[in-house]
Every structure is written in C-alpha cells, then in structure tokens.
Amino acid sequence: MGYQIPRGTQDILPGTVEKWQFVEEKAREICSRYNYKEIRTPIFEHTELFLRSVGDTTDIVQKEMYTFTDRGDRSLTLRPEGTASTVRAYVENKLFGLAQQPTKLYYIGPMFRYERPQAGRYRQFVQFGIEAMGSDDPSIDAEVMALAIDVYKELGLKSLRLVLNTLGDKESRKAHREALVAHFEPRIGEFCHDCQNRLQTNPLRILDCKKDRDHELMKTAPSIHDYLNEESREYFETVKSTLTAMGIEYVIDPKLVRGLDYYNHTAFEIISDAEGFGAITTLSGGGRYNGLAEEVGGPATPGIGFAMSLERLLLALDAEGVKLPIEDSLDCYLITMGDQAKEKAPSLLYRFRKAGLKADKDYLDKKMKAQFKAADRTNAKFVAVLGDDELANGVISVKDMESGEQTEVALDQVTEYILKQI
Ligand code: ATP
Ligand code: MG
C-alpha cells in the first residue's frame, strides 16, 4: 500500500519543472526591468489578517481557507492569496517610511484554497503577483497591467484579452451600491442564497454570481459608470489613455467587479481566448485597493496589484502550443574504460564542475556502450573518453557530439579545451 498525493495538489517532476523555472525566471526578469523587488512572507498568517483584508463576505474566507489551530492555540491560516501578507509586511516593517517610494514588490509562492479541483483550479497553486504601494498616479495602474501582459506576451502567448473596469471611489461606490440594492431588493427572492446574503453585505458581488448570471435583472442592473463622480471618471480616463499611449489593447467590461470593500478605481482581468483552454479562462486578476493598508493598521496608503497563477499560465502556453526554449543538456559526459581510468574519474569530473561545466559520469559500472547511451540521454555536447592507456599517456579523447569529430587532448588541458569549444 502506497500513499497518494492530496487532492488538488501536484508533484512537479524533472522534465516539467524546467518550464516552471523558465516562467519564474521570466517573471523575475520583467519585475527587475520594472523595478519591482521581491518580498517573501510566511506561508501561514494569523487567520484574522485574512478575515480583515480579504473580507469575511468573500468565497475565499467563507469556503476556501485552510485554517488550523496550532499547539499554542492560535488560529492560523495557510495563505490563500498574497496581497494580505504583502500589505501586512509593508505596514509591520514600516516600508512606507523608506526614502524610495512608491514601494514596488513582487512575490512568487504557493497559495492554498479548499476548492473543487479541476483543470486550472488546485488546492495548492503558485501565484506570481505584484503590489505597488504609495502612489495613486493612474500611470502606475497602467504599469501594473503592462507588466502582467508583458509576462504573458514575452513567453509567447497571443490570444490575450485585457478586460478593464473602474469601481470608482468611495463616494461613487456608495451611490452605486444604493442603486444596486434598490434594483435587486424587490425580487431578491428569485436569487440564490448567496446573493440574498450579498444584498446587504456586498451587493456588488451579486454581479459576480455564477449561478444567477442569466437572470434578467442582471442585464438591467445599474452600472457603476452611471454613478462615477468627476474625479473617478477622470481617473479612469487617464488610465485608459495611458494604456492607449503605451499601445496596450483593452476592452471595457462594466460588469467586472472585485467585491471587496476596499477595492476602488481600477479593476482588471486578463483572459485567455485560446481554443481548447477549457472552462476557466481567467489568467489573472488585479485592481486598486486604496483602503487596505489602513484596514490592517497602517497609514492611509494607495495600492494596486495583480496576481496570476503559474498553473493557468502553463495551461495557456499548452493550449496555444507554445514551446518554451528550454535548454536541458550537459556540457560534458565522462566515459571511462579500465580500472585506473575509473579511479581517476571523480577528481577529473570535479575539475570540470569547478570550472563551471555541466558534467556527469556513470555510477552504475556500465559497459562502454551503455555509457555512451547514457551520455546520449543527457544530450551531452561533448563526451570525454578516458581509457587506462590514455591515462598512462596523459591524454583524453574528446568527442564533439554534434559534428562527431574526435580530438585527443592533453589531460591537464581538457577543461580549458572544452570550455573554449562551448
Ligand atoms: P476564480 O474566479 O477563477 O476562482 P479568483 O477570483 O478566485 O478566480 P483571484 O483570487 O483573483 O482569483 O486570484 C488571482 C489568480 O490566481 C486567478 O486569476 C488565477 O490565475 C489564480 N487562481 C485562483 N485560484 C486558483 C486555483 N484554485 N488554482 C489555480 N489558480 C488559481
Ligand atoms: Mg476563486
């Protein structure tokens, strides 16, 4: 009887892990171009943080958190997303006091949600996300969206759609909220149980309901765009014109909402339109959260960010048939023949490796032919063959696996020789 991996989790094995490394590397590279610095926070936090920041009316908090009590009777939760921890760390470490502002951070790490697993939906998944705190300049909203788009595009995705909306500021949202309640209240009985609860706690989220999305009242629901005050309208216009000037295409969807109280102004999602992508097509989501730092005990700080899961990114790459340029080969495989040569192999190999060569050898006492086969499997660029005779003469033969050319090289020069060839 063996053990099985928990539902909704995955082992990422060699052969696949290189893809993960490649996309992580790309994300880091783009972040450094945009001057975002990495932050690493704990995998678990006090449960209260998520209740406060994600919000206790959300699906995440109500249904999806991995919460446990530790031996000291504290309620802890495996992080379901990265913004709460990042903003907590920003406040706790007083990053707002640093000279360089805004504070631009990114993270890559596992998140945990108790969900029904399916393609693109896991219980443990890796999110890459960024948070820019301390500026409410609309150009940083555009920057955040551009960064997300760049990651997808530079990896080779083409069927992308940036969907944009504004939620307005506090005042606009309040007016919109009242209109929503007035709109749905008379017939709220026709809506699902969740929506009935949302009517008073968070009516905006009714627009986001998957069960009731075809109800006729959904189509006629008041749009935030009719309730934007002057300032909010202007903010949105500047975000849009900045994107346009940057050459970034977008579509407006007045129904795109992010249901948390502290969300305001910009909200966006990036969708994959690739055929064969499956039911879940949202690659990433983000938005502005100007009230969040205050909510977790910090000074009033504007902020904006996004998060994407690498799982969905990799699915999209598959769906579009993108082959990542992953190089997985050794520089040199060392083959030996005879006892003395075999004895010499570890120190010679060690020399290769210290010189920076990717190198390996046989450890299973294989025959010559099988060693060559093993060398082939590693895609080695060069194979160095050392026999007892060669060893006695202080030479080694080096075969260029691409051209087939074989050269005899002085043993004490072989590292330099191979380095020069590659
Ligand atoms: P969905 O509507 O798909 O449940 P969400 O609103 O819960 O998404 P967010 O909380 O905005 O998603 O998370 C941002 C991104 O994280 C998503 O766009 C998606 O790429 C990814 N994501 C969310 N949940 C999962 C999951 N269970 N497995 C894999 N990726 C996920
Ligand atoms: Mg979800």
pLDDT tens profile 363-394 = 999 999 999 999 999 999 999 999 999 999 99
pLDDT for 402-421, tens place per residue?
999 999 999 999 999 999 99
When pLDDT is cut at 50, 70 and 90, the band that residue 275 belongs to is confident
For the chain, percent of residues with pLDDT exceeding 70: 99
Res. 258: pLDDT tops 80: no
Q: What is the mean pLDDT of residues 324-341?
A: 96
Q: Say whether pLDDT at 260 is over 80.
A: no
Atom in ligand 1 nearest the alpha carbon of residue 286: 11
Tokens at residue 254, please? Answer: 């007045």
Nearest residue to 269 (alpha-carbon basis) of 300, 235, 308, 319: 308
Question: What's the pLDDT score for residue 259?
Answer: 63
Task: Give the model's pLDDT for residue 257.
Answer: 84
What distance in angstroms lies between residue 329's CA and the mean position of ligand 2's atoms? 39
CA distances from 374 to 18, 106, 218, 363, 386 (A): 20, 41, 63, 11, 16
Which residue's alpha carbon is nearest to atom 28 within ligand 1? 121
Does residue 233 contact residue 226 with C-beta atoms inside 8 Å? Answer: no
Round to whole Å and give the CA distance between 254 and 226. 10
């890796």: which residue's tokens?
Answer: 126
Over 80: is that where the pLDDT of 17 sits?
Answer: yes
- Nearest-atom number in ligand 1 for the CA of 123 is 27
pLDDT in tens, 67-105: 999 999 999 999 999 999 999 999 999 999 999 999 999
pLDDT given at position 261: 67
CA of 370 to the centre of ligand 2 (A): 51
Per 3-state DSSP, the chain is made up of helix, strand and coil in percentages (nearest 5) of 45, 20, 35
Of all protein residues, whose CA lies closest to atom 7 belonging to ligand 1? 60
**pTM exceeds 0.85 for this model:** yes
pLDDT in tens, 226-239: 999 999 999 999 99
- For residue 421, report the distance from its CA to the centre of ligand 1, in Å: 47
Which residues contact ligand 1 via a Cβ below 6 A?
81, 113, 115, 120-122, 125, 127, 280, 282-285, 307-309, 311-312
Amino acid in position 369: K
| Each residue's pLDDT tens digit, 144-199 | 999 999 999 999 999 999 999 999 999 999 999 999 999 999 999 999 998 999 89
Q: How far does the centroid of ligand 2 lie from the alpha carbon of residue 42, in Å?
A: 21
Q: What is the mean pLDDT of residues 296-301?
A: 96
- For a substitution probing ligand 1, which of 57, 86, 152, 282 has the most ligand atoms within 8 Å of its CB? 282
Three-state DSSP class for 125? strand
Q: What is the pLDDT of residue 58?
A: 84
Nearest CA to ligand 1 atom 2: 282
Task: Report whether pLDDT(353) > 80.
Answer: yes
Amino acid at 160: L
As a whole number, mean pLDDT of residues 335-348 equals 97
